[in-house]
Amino acid sequence: MKIVIIGNNVSGTFTAQNIRFLNEEAEIEIITQEKYPYYTRVNLPELISEKVTIDNLIVFKEDWYKNKRIELNLNTRVEKINPKTKTLIIDSIDNPIYYDKLVLALGSTPNIPPIKNAVKLKDEKKGVFTLRSINDCLEIKDFIRKENAKKAIVIGGGLLGLELANQIKNSDLDTTVVEFFPRLLPRQLDLECGTMLKEEIESKGIKVVLGATTEEILGNGSVTGIRLKGGEEIDADIVLIQAGIRPTINLAKDANLVTNKGIVVNEYLETSEKDIFAVGDCIEYNDQIWGIIPACMEQSKIVAASVVGMKKIEYKGTTPKNTLKILGLELTSIGIIDPSREEISGGWEILKKADKKDCCYKKLILKDSKLKGAILFGDTKAISYVYSKMEQEVDGTELRKLLELYIYICKNCGKEYDEAIMEVLFKDLPDNFKCPNCNGPKEDFKQRE
Ligand X SMILES: Cc1cc2nc3c(=O)[nH]c(=O)nc-3n(C[C@H](O)[C@H](O)[C@H](O)COP(=O)(O)OP(=O)(O)OC[C@H]3O[C@@H](n4cnc5c(N)ncnc54)[C@H](O)[C@@H]3O)c2cc1C
Q: Give the footprint of ligand X on this chain (CB under 6 A).
A: 6-12, 31-34, 41-42, 44-45, 77-78, 105-108, 131-132, 160, 248, 251, 280-281, 291-294, 296, 325
Closest distance to ligand X from the beta carbon of 91 (Å): 9
User: Which of residues 155 and 402 has its CB atom nearest to ligand X in the complex?
Assistant: 155
Apex 219 CA angle, 214 and 222, nearest 5: 120
User: Which of residues 5 and 365 has its CB atom nearest to ligand X in the complex?
Assistant: 5
Closest distance to ligand X from the beta carbon of 194 (Å): 19
User: Which of residues 294 and 440 has its CB atom nearest to ligand X in the complex?
Assistant: 294
Residue 402 and residue 394 in contact, taking contact as beta carbons nearer than 8 Å: no
Strands (E), 189-267: 207-209, 214-218, 225-228, 233-235, 238-241, 245-247, 263-264
Closest distance to ligand X from the beta carbon of 49 (Å): 13
Residue 111 and residue 243 in contact, taking contact as beta carbons nearer than 8 Å: yes
User: Which of residues 296 and 435 has its CB atom nearest to ligand X in the complex?
Assistant: 296
User: Which of residues 221 and 328 has its CB atom nearest to ligand X in the complex?
Assistant: 328
CA distance 264 to 247: 11
User: Which of residues 39 and 445 has its CB atom nearest to ligand X in the complex?
Assistant: 39
CA distance 112 to 129: 10
Closest distance to ligand X from the beta carbon of 106 (Å): 4
Closest distance to ligand X from the beta carbon of 250 (Å): 8
Q: What is the dihedral of CA 351, 356, 359, 364, to 10 degrees?
A: 10
Closest distance to ligand X from the beta carbon of 32 (Å): 4
Closest distance to ligand X from the beta carbon of 297 (Å): 9
**For residue 397, which phi and psi values (nearest 5 degrees)?**
-65, -40
CA distance 35 to 73: 9
CA distance 273 to 101: 11
User: Which of residues 281 and 419 has its CB atom nearest to ligand X in the complex?
Assistant: 281
**What are the CB-based long-range contacts (under 8 Å, 24+) for 196-205?**
196/354, 196/356, 196/359, 196/361, 196/377, 196/378, 197/329, 197/331, 197/377, 199/359, 200/329, 200/359, 201/162, 201/165, 201/177, 201/329, 204/166, 204/169, 204/326, 204/328, 205/169, 205/175
| Residue nearest ligand X (C-beta atom) | 107
Closest distance to ligand X from the beta carbon of 138 (Å): 14
Residue 185 and residue 194 in contact, taking contact as beta carbons nearer than 8 Å: yes
